[in-house]
A and B are shown apart, each in its own frame.
Chain A
């Protein structure tokens, strides 16, 4: 059975003081349905990716919560996997269609983080780590700083190499009207920004953001539904998930994310393509080192050799660093960006002749990785 995305939309990402989780979800889903030229009454299930609503807002039961908000009483689920919640929501949406139980479903990623103090958000985000890490007082910048330090020691990666990721992603974000940040930055600015967790500085770290994104997943292409143009549909060639130990201390090797390697390998195998066939990719740059690890672990370049990558455009949306990282929404936003790229609708950041794209979404410090491969 072939599975397609026929509608895709995101809200603006950023400090959205006047937006609520309800208004964000309504906006993303309404626009995704419009994009698919589909009425909401054809939606048979709703998969919601979100991490922090319970801990910060006291609200769980998000399947029912958002189904009500959208005027639906269909099957509805919250899927959580830390920052991979969005990717996992999509994986489950796809599986529900592959199972034959549903034909057309929505995968929605939504997060509202800016209504809380940064220290409360940082504490809640550590729910993605292990209890030992929490007891030791670690925060996510600290954990990724360990990964950065290990990478620097093993391969001679420099702080400037990492800064280059932030510079590139801010440049892409400056071309994305929905991105949180709109100014380009320089290597000097990254190097001069305040230390957060050595060697990671402020501009090596993705921000706290609000936002939502939604995609319509279906096995039908107009049968019984308002017809969508063939040019609108994007096929999902692979959707894979792998997990690794929750905490860094139990990993086999700190210079790679095994979950990324496993999910990536499986995805390429199922899709019948290899890394060199990918024209455009959205990878999980929660911190600059994370993008470097992703490029290596997905097989786009050898370890320590990310500077040699030439043909591939990575994170045209601005990535998590430039576009923003509303945790549960990111995994879906990455897919929306690739869908727009493959359809030729990415405006100033359009990658020429993009035919095959990849998204990579990670939970925690690499305990979950989700990879999607899409083609038009």
Chain B
């Protein structure tokens, strides 16, 4: 059985309050916050990008003097929608700096916010087939949005990395599935700086159709019910959608709450679901089951059922420790950090 052996996360320390973005555009802050369910979002420093964030997250998977070493990794996938190059792999830059050596399979993935969870499923297959012993799946994004667009309130930054293996897992993968369709709710053409989106079409026909599709299939194929799980994690494009989908599926607020990083850091795109899972792993106990479904625009959802093992330990630094380590920037500082001016 394949599972997660170790995980590392990185959230940039800068934050901007949603109220400050709203005020810059002379919108009523309480209306924006009320409609999106987000208070503030993470902002990268001017010298951070998907590569630096991927590396920071990955480094935190390897404890100093720990048994697991970077050159144990034989497969490395990086999922992002802000890879700095259209042609040139993020994964080998990260691999080189991690000291993985040369005998590994590297690839970059893109599928909007589910790029990295797709990598996790592919990696699980390679590991289960005995094709590799250890794999590293990384999600990292410095999410782009056009100034004055609705996405400006939610597009955040962050990374999460999972070492996966068939040995010594802290959480085993009990089941996985994926639900895909051609649904153009959010996209960015090659060479164009900012993404476009289709407004309210990103709701029911996009996010909800796919997350519900994958969730229902996952529950059907395993013959399980929401009550069987200690926690659930869903992709978090804003504060409302994951709460709504959890309720529709029959999960409780308590099952969902520990994963809700979105209220504090916004949407770190490909890292959203994996950061949510990391926040849950920070507090989870052996034998607890976790239900996790990501979403990527365009569109698709990857579903996972994890079971925590007795190998789980308390992390030295939790996701919420990083969330709470913050320094505010104003709208001008935000524009500078994200290279808009």
A194 contacts B198, CB within 8 Å?
no
Q: Which of B28, B31, B198, B200 contacts A15 (CB 8 A)?
A: B200
Q: Would you call B96 an interface residue if the criterion is a C-beta within 8 Å of the partner chain's C-beta atoms?
A: no
Q: Considering the complex, which residues of chain A in the window 107-150 have a beta carbon less than 8 Å from any beta carbon of chain B? A: 114-118
Interface residue tally on B, bucketed by range: under 10
A114 contacts B200, CB within 8 Å?
yes
Inter-chain contacts of B205 with A (CB < 8 A): 17-18
Inter-chain contacts of B28 with A (CB < 8 A): 194-195
Q: Which of A17, A114, A116, A194 contacts B31 (CB 8 A)?
A: A194
B199 contacts A17, CB within 8 Å?
no
Q: Closest CB of chain B to A206's CB: distance in Å?
A: 16
With contacts A194-B28, A194-B31 taken as known, whether A118 is within 8 angstroms of B201 at the C-beta atoms is no
Complex: A117 Cα to B204 Cα, angstroms: 15
Inter-chain contacts of B200 with A (CB < 8 A): 15, 114
Q: Give a binary string over A165-196; 1 marks a CB under 8 Å from any B CB, 0 the rest.
A: 00000000000000000000000000000110
Q: Considering the complex, which residues of chain A in the window 277-317 have a beta carbon less than 8 Å from any beta carbon of chain B? A: none
Inter-chain contacts of A15 with B (CB < 8 A): 200, 204
B31 contacts A115, CB within 8 Å?
no
Q: Considering the complex, which residues of chain A in the window 186-212 have a beta carbon less than 8 Å from any beta carbon of chain B? A: 194-195
Q: Closest CB of chain A to B258's CB: distance in Å?
A: 32
Instruction: Name the prevailing secondary structure of the B interface residues.
Output: helix
Inter-chain contacts of B31 with A (CB < 8 A): 194
Q: Closest CB of chain A to B194's CB: distance in Å?
A: 14
Closest to A202 in B: B31
Residue of A18, A114, A116, A194 with most chain B CB atoms under a 10 A cut-off: A194
Q: Considering the complex, which residues of chain B in the window 201-224 have a beta carbon less than 8 Å from any beta carbon of chain A? A: 201, 204-205
Q: Closest CB of chain B to A326's CB: distance in Å?
A: 15
Q: Closest CB of chain A to B30's CB: distance in Å?
A: 10
Q: Give a binary string over B296-322; 1 marks a CB under 8 Å from any A CB, 0 the rest.
A: 000000000000000000000000000
Q: Closest CB of chain A to B200's CB: distance in Å?
A: 7
Closest to A116 in B: B199
Q: Closest CB of chain A to B165's CB: distance in Å?
A: 42
Closest to B35 in A: A194
Complex: A274 Cα to B28 Cα, angstroms: 47
Complex: A117 Cα to B205 Cα, angstroms: 15
Q: Give a binary string over B236-264; 1 marks a CB under 8 Å from any A CB, 0 the rest.
A: 00000000000000000000000000000
Interface residue tally on A, bucketed by range: 10 to 19
Q: Closest CB of chain A to B188's CB: distance in Å?
A: 16
Inter-chain contacts of A194 with B (CB < 8 A): 28, 31
Q: Closest CB of chain A to B28's CB: distance in Å?
A: 6
With contacts A194-B28, A194-B31 taken as known, whether A17 is within 8 angstroms of B198 at the C-beta atoms is no
Residue of A15, A17, A195 with most chain B CB atoms under a 10 A cut-off: A17
Complex: A271 Cα to B261 Cα, angstroms: 65
Inter-chain contacts of A17 with B (CB < 8 A): 201, 204-205
Q: Considering the complex, which residues of chain A in the window 14-48 have a beta carbon less than 8 Å from any beta carbon of chain B? A: 15, 17-18
Q: Closest CB of chain B to A207's CB: distance in Å?
A: 11
Complex: A232 Cα to B87 Cα, angstroms: 68
Closest to A17 in B: B205
Q: Give a binary string over B137-181; 1 marks a CB under 8 Å from any A CB, 0 the rest.
A: 000000000000000000000000000000000000000000000
Complex: A243 Cα to B45 Cα, angstroms: 59
Closest to A193 in B: B31
Q: Closest CB of chain B to A113's CB: distance in Å?
A: 11
Complex: A17 Cα to B198 Cα, angstroms: 12
Complex: A116 Cα to B198 Cα, angstroms: 7
Q: Closest CB of chain B to A298's CB: distance in Å?
A: 34
Q: Closest CB of chain B to A17's CB: distance in Å?
A: 4
Complex: A223 Cα to B281 Cα, angstroms: 77
Complex: A18 Cα to B183 Cα, angstroms: 12
Closest to B34 in A: A194
Closest to B209 in A: A17
Q: Give a binary string over A43-73; 1 marks a CB under 8 Å from any B CB, 0 the rest.
A: 0000000000000000000000000000000
Residue of B31, B199, B204 with most chain A CB atoms under a 10 A cut-off: B199
Inter-chain contacts of A195 with B (CB < 8 A): 28
Inter-chain contacts of A114 with B (CB < 8 A): 200-201
Inter-chain contacts of A116 with B (CB < 8 A): 199
Closest to A120 in B: B199
Complex: A118 Cα to B149 Cα, angstroms: 12
Complex: A116 Cα to B199 Cα, angstroms: 8
Closest to A194 in B: B31
Complex: A194 Cα to B28 Cα, angstroms: 8
Complex: A15 Cα to B205 Cα, angstroms: 11
Q: Closest CB of chain B to A313's CB: distance in Å?
A: 32
The 9 closest A-B pairs by CB, nearest first: A17-B205, A117-B199, A194-B31, A118-B199, A17-B204, A194-B28, A15-B200, A114-B200, A17-B201
6 sampled A-B residue pairs with Cβ under 8 A: A17-B201, A114-B200, A116-B199, A118-B199, A194-B31, A195-B28
Residues of A within 8 A of B (CB): 15, 17-18, 114-118, 194-195
Given contacts A117-B199, A195-B28, 15 further A-B contacts (CB under 8 A): A15-B200, A15-B204, A17-B201, A17-B204, A17-B205, A18-B205, A114-B200, A114-B201, A115-B198, A115-B201, A116-B199, A117-B198, A118-B199, A194-B28, A194-B31
